[in-house]
Structure 1
Amino acid sequence: MEEYQKTSIRNWAIEDRPREKLIQKGIASLSNAELLAILIGSGSRKESAVELSRKILGDVRNNLNELGKSTIDALQKRYHGVGQAKAITIVAALELGRRRQLASPLEKPQIRKSEDVFALMSPALADLPHEEFWILVLNQANKVVTRFNISKGGIAGTVIDVRIIMEKALYQHASSIILCHNHPSGNRKPSQPDISITKKLAEAGKILDIHVLDHVIIAENHYFSFADEGIL
């Protein structure tokens, strides 16, 4: 028991524990052994999960392709502390990695003009009986990284918080954003609050170096673009 206490991950400095290290320093800072240790969770009475992982990887000369050839039965029989559940986890994780390599990356839609925004967001907003406010987060190539539903309101409006929008944009490392909301009334003309919040967000974006490219209002089968009208 004493030998295990010396090697247990619980006795390591917090910054050296794999899970804590991942959170504090990012996943790229972890070695293959540390990543494997996170998967198996625990070692044995004689060695920590990291030490067990180093042993497993050492037997395949730290080659993940070779480890990927291991069977559940072989892992269980060869390594003390690796039961069926841990062996299944290792095999499943490596198979998932193999499938990731085979998969084609999803093509991100690129925004070249306001019509692209309308085509992307109209299916979600055109027929709603209430207002919703969304933002599109774009990278440097004007491709949509993600989109967020910021708020939902009533027929006449919805509450917008500049801080929440910019926080989400910063978190996603946005190069620029596009604002988008709907008018259930079918009137595409922006209201004074629409104009006001657009100006506030544009000013906040200048300070944070996140350019607000457009604000598109969707009203049934047509739309209004602040950029097209020269308001931004």
Structure 2
Amino acid sequence: MKKVSFEINSEYRMLENSELVSLLIGNDCVCENCEEYNSGKDIRFVLARMTPAKQKIAMAAIELFKRNLSGDEQKKSIRCSEDIFNLMQSIVGDIENEEVWVLLLNSKLKMIKRIRVASGGIDRAIVDVRIILKEAIMNNAVALALIHNHPSGNERPSSDDDMITKQLVDAAKFLNVKMIDHLIIGKDKYYSYSDEGRL
């Protein structure tokens, strides 16, 4: 993970959490709600107390920051499961519903495109292999990696995960597209089908 410098934030680095919350909410005084943030609340506590217009700006800034964390990773060749994890953890590692993404790769295993192919509930997202392969063909990909998250934090694969992995490996092989991995991300850890010798 690359080191992020925030010298641009100058004096904001010196403020207490409650003072930052106060600025974001738009309250000039450090109120009880802001002090409450110091007792273990997360960013959703703050967002819930912002106006809709401020929420949009804050969410855009958060998303841009998350993409910046994985920005350098996009330029590298994908050589191992850790490369995929570094690229995708900031995208799916902290969300509350299950999402399925695919990395489309060129012959040097560099990313052509990153696409979300399914979004579901807290424990399931329906994946259509045809959509994934259509995207691979349209983008001239020669390899791909499948990634999805387990919001529970448990990175172990389910029987459904095993089934979709086999279906995609077989179908991709028929089109001369190599599936290099299927990564299941559970917060800050992951399971790799490739590392486990299951591809």
TM-score of Structure 1 vs Structure 2, range by shorter chain: 0.5 to 0.7
2:143 to 159, 166, 176: 176
Provide the alpha-carbon RMSD of the alignment.
0.8
Percent identity over the alignment? 44
- Residue aligning to 1:218: 185
Larger CA Rg, structure 1 vs 2: 1
1:79-158 pair list within 5 angstroms:
108-158=75-125
User: Are the equivalent residues in 2 in contact too, given 1:126–1:219 (CA < 8 A)?
Assistant: yes
Separation in structure 2 between the aligned mates of residue 129 and residue 214 of structure 1, nearest angstrom:
23
Deviations 1:38-58 (A, max 9, x none): xxxxxxxxxxxxxxxxxxxxx
Separation in structure 1 between the aligned mates of residue 120 and residue 153 of structure 2, nearest angstrom:
16
Deviations 1:106-156 (A, max 9, x none): x73311110000000000000000000000000000101111000110001
- Residue aligning to 2:196: 229
Partner-residue secondary structure (3-state), 2:75:
coil
Partner-residue secondary structure (3-state), 1:188:
coil
1:195 to 153, 156, 162: 162
Separation in structure 1 between the aligned mates of residue 174 and residue 75 of structure 2, nearest angstrom:
27
- Residue aligning to 2:134: 167
Q: Which amino acid aligns with 1:188?
A: E
Q: Which amino acid aligns with 2:93?
A: A
Q: Which amino acid aligns with 1:185?
A: S
- Residue aligning to 1:67: none
Higher relative contact order (CA 8 A, sep 6+): 2
Separation in structure 2 between the aligned mates of residue 155 and residue 109 of structure 1, nearest angstrom:
31
User: Are the equivalent residues in 2 in contact too, given 1:108–1:145 (CA < 8 A)?
Assistant: no
Separation in structure 2 between the aligned mates of residue 146 and residue 168 of structure 1, nearest angstrom:
9
Partner-residue secondary structure (3-state), 1:215:
strand
Deviations 1:194-218 (A, max 9, x none): 0000000000011000011100000
Number of residue pairs aligned between Structure 1 and Structure 2: 126
Greater than 6 Å deviation, 4+ residue runs: none
2:172 to 179, 186, 205: 205
Q: Which amino acid aligns with 2:116?
A: N
Separation in structure 2 between the aligned mates of residue 189 and residue 177 of structure 1, nearest angstrom:
21
User: Are the equivalent residues in 2 in contact too, given 1:188–1:219 (CA < 8 A)?
Assistant: yes
